[in-house]
Amino acid sequence: MDLILTAREFSDVNPAFSVSAPAEQRVPFVFNSPHSGRYYPNSLLAASRLTPPQLRCSEDLYVDQLFSNVVEIGAPLLSANFPRAWLDVNREPYELDPKLFSEKLPGHANIRSMRVSGGLGTIPRLVAEHMPIYDTAPTLEEALDRVELIYRPYHETLRKLLAKTVMEFGHAVLVDCHSMPSSGSKSEDQSRPDIIIGDRYGTSCHGSISHELIIRFSELGYSVTRNKPYAGGFITEHYGRPLKGFHAVQIEINRSLYVDELTLLPKAGFETLKEDIRNVLNYLVSIPDSRFEPTPIAAE
């Protein structure tokens, strides 16, 4: 008999997330891969109208593996094992979709965000445009269990990694790692660049971080844009506080560079891209610490 996993049982069977870290952290950087989880609870598979490959449409395929070299560079990497289709930690904790639940949502739920209206809340309703996940939607109790038992511990772990980094180095740089489909929705009707650097339009990190990433990826021959169409999600916005010594930047990688978007299998270019990422990050972590010193706010 298949085991039906709830949020309460998930961590007992498969750790919900993992931290890969060097014996000693040598650089003031923390890397995060919140959407690369590949373990799909049987309860989700049973409740979904989609096939397993369809469910994976929202997964950041193998991004944790693409960035695994950061441990050798001297930085920790936090990775989700649960899938984004089940729980999205790159959202507010209670971006809950009223179209998904039959029960009345709590008053503190954010039911009007653009992400919720697009079906991509904390408990997603869709994996992509016109691809609803559920035949049998989760109950509100199940959804709140995912938030309390998985979402909150995930973010607590991320906060501790950042706090420890600031204590040791005086500042911390969070690099949020993602991938994107090679083309946008029908409404976009356009192909996408190889790399998108998101810094919430210059508000989530020191400009030298975004500049270094853009320059280094461009030098390697990748097409790079900044903030369009992805400026960074909840994690980048929430944790990026440059004036307090916390910087956050998002890297989006075009999946067509390294994976077959039909079979979802890595392509021959996977290892080349992984090595290129390593080279870029070696430059990034070499930015002088003086660049990250909090700038005093001028008196009005």
How high is the pLDDT of residue 9? Answer: 61
* Orientation angle between helical segments 270-284 and 207-219, nearest 10 degrees: 140
Query: Quick one: tokens of 131?
Result: 């691809």
Residue ranges per structural domain of the chain: 7-84+137-289
Contact 208, 216 (CB under 8 A): no
* 294: three-class secondary structure by DSSP: coil
How high is the pLDDT of residue 271? Answer: 97
How high is the pLDDT of residue 14? Answer: 73
How high is the pLDDT of residue 292? Answer: 73
Query: Quick one: tokens of 222?
Result: 């990748």
Contact 258, 62 (CB under 8 A): yes
Query: Quick one: tokens of 243?
Result: 């004036």
The residue behind tokens 């990748």 is: 222
What are residue 8's phi and psi, to 5 degrees? Answer: -65, -30
- pLDDT per residue, tens digit, the chain (300 aa), is 233 456 766 655 578 999 999 999 999 999 999 999 999 988 899 999 999 999 999 999 999 999 999 999 999 999 999 999 999 999 999 999 999 999 999 999 999 999 999 999 999 999 998 899 999 999 999 999 999 999 999 999 999 999 999 999 999 999 999 999 998 655 555 789 999 999 999 999 999 999 999 999 999 999 999 999 999 999 999 999 999 999 999 999 999 999 999 999 999 999 999 999 999 999 999 998 877 766 543 333
How high is the pLDDT of residue 300? Answer: 31
In whole angstroms, give the CA distance from residue 64 to residue 178: 9
How high is the pLDDT of residue 1? Answer: 23
In whole angstroms, give the CA distance from residue 215 to residue 209: 10
How high is the pLDDT of residue 42? Answer: 87
Contact 245, 171 (CB under 8 A): yes
* 65: three-class secondary structure by DSSP: helix
Parallel, antiparallel, or unpaired for β 172-180 and 246-254?
parallel
Q: Which CATH architecture has domain 7-84+137-289?
A: 3-Layer(aba) Sandwich (3.40)
Whether pTM > 0.85 for this model: the answer is yes
